[in-house]
Structure 1
């Protein structure tokens, strides 16, 4: 279950060292998180533990994530931004 405290921790984790990630992650959490399945929510939370250079490479399409769940979440985030 995603309590307010847990979501607030994720909001803090969305604040990254790279502006490019900041403008993707926090708006996604605020606007699309509630629409995700419980499994997708867990995956998003896990994605937030990844290093900035990896996240940046994945969202920019420079590199493919080896973890299929994380790769699918990155695709979800990127496709939402492109809409």
Structure 2
């Protein structure tokens, strides 16, 4: 079973060691995740496997993710936060 198939496990995976990431991931899962395509859900799940310092650098704009799919997901999440 993947995280995509189990929303409570997905929410649990969104709880990170950094509050800055929690406030991005948890609202995204609650408000936007269900509207994603299957491919984007898989990309989001891949994003959750990344390490917190790496994620923090991407989301705070200190670094750019070299993986185009992950970078697109980071940008999508950031856009949702700005809305």
TM-score by length of 1: 0.92
Which 5+ residue runs of structure 2 have no aligned equivalent? none
Report the equivalent of 1:44.
44
**How far did residue 10 of structure 1 move?**
1.4
**TM-superposed deviation, 1:7:** 2.0
Cα deviation, residue 12, structure 1: 0.6
CA distance in 1, matches of 2:37, 2:15: 23
Q: CA RMSD in A?
A: 1.2
Aligned to 2:58: 58
Q: Distance in 2 between matches of 1:43 and 1:8?
A: 18
TM-score, normalised on structure 2? Answer: 0.92
The SS at the match of 1:75 is: helix
State the match for 2:35 in structure 1.
35
For structure 1, list consecutive stretches of 5 or more residues without a partner in the other structure.
Answer: none
